[in-house]
Amino acid sequence: MTRAKRDFGSIRRRSNRRYQAYYVGPDQATHRAPSTFEARADAEAWLADERRLIQRDEWSPTRFRRARRQRASQAFGPYAESWLAYRDIKPRTRVLYRRQLDRFILPAFGDVAMREITPTAVRIWHSGLDPSKPTQRAHAYGLLRAILTTAVTDEVIATNPCRIRGAGTSASTRRVEPASLEELRVVVDHMPERYRALVLIGAWCGLRLGEMSELRRSDLDLRLMVLRVRRGVVRVEGQVSVGLPKSFASIRDVAIPPHLIPVIENHLERFVRPETDALVFPSVGDPSIQVHANTLYRHWYRARLAAGRPDLRIHDLRHTGAVLAAQTGATLAELMARIGHSTPQAALRYQHAARGRDAEIAAALSRLAEGR
């Protein structure tokens, strides 16, 4: 956030990269522009207009109060639509926000004036959301809070009425059980040969499905035994979107366990075109297109049933890889780097799971010592 010294008024760049202009008026009070500006030149123009009004003795502080009242009286719906339209977010996130607005937020607040969205109104709305779907409930509340936080920044409203403690987070109700090595072997044996390397990379290298689907020959350095994660693919409303991985921390180099090298070499020779930009896991019908998740799921469901793990998701391979890495004694920082997490919370879960498995091993050793 930067400020510029001027003969009249000040301009600062806020954390959201928009510019805010303000000045001390003849009444010795600070007056801010009705909204922030995308370009610095627009902020300078607004200050120039205000200075001109003062010089002509046409300036009045009441119009600021009137402008603020007008902003606060605007309906939430149009403001939310503008908020979403100019938000720099990934395509899948945009679709998710659109769905949450249409299903949960706009029906309740779309026609309500911004100033009439009170803490009481928010609490009543939140209590009406389905408590049996805590994640969906938390996401809807979090989106409403984010929009109204921006409204406070834009000085449309004075304070954010979303004040329900903990409402924006939800505890996971699903306990992920990593696959055992035997279960993993059975799953791999029951997958088509062209997808076995994908399952093994997911389990032993901890990649997300979107990261594996976008792997290309040039991302694999088998001589150095390194796999480079630089992109990810998602499908949004039937459209393929290739971009950066989930977060900045997800851009990483992952060391490939040596026992996977022959498997990957065999896969590259049999199923991957020779070009450096060839997809490692392409569609059967079109090698220039990433394998569709539905194709994988069709085979995956049969394979996991054969392993006696109908609860196991493809994404749980990543969890399995993280727990296996934790069992080797990997530190928290090493786990974060390998799995591509920007915060330690998830990596801590993997370490806890590994310690739980270690207790099982210790118990088994005691049974062995006692001859049972």
Question: Catalytic amino acids?
Answer: 208, 315, 318, 341, 350
Taking Cα atoms as reference points, which of 209, 194, 214 lies closest to residue 278? Answer: 214
DSSP 169-238: ---------PPPHHHHHHHHHTS-HHHHHHHHHHHHH---HHHHHT-BGGGEETTTTEEEE--EEEEETT
Whether 114 contacts 71, CB under 8 Å = yes
Give the Cα separation of 201 and 228 in Å (integer): 12
Give the Cα separation of 102 and 125 in Å (integer): 14
Q: Percentage helix, strand, coil, to 5, in the chain? A: 55, 10, 35
Residue 199 neighbours by CB under 8 Å, 6+ apart: 184, 187, 188, 191, 303, 317
308 alpha-carbon distance from chain centroid: 32
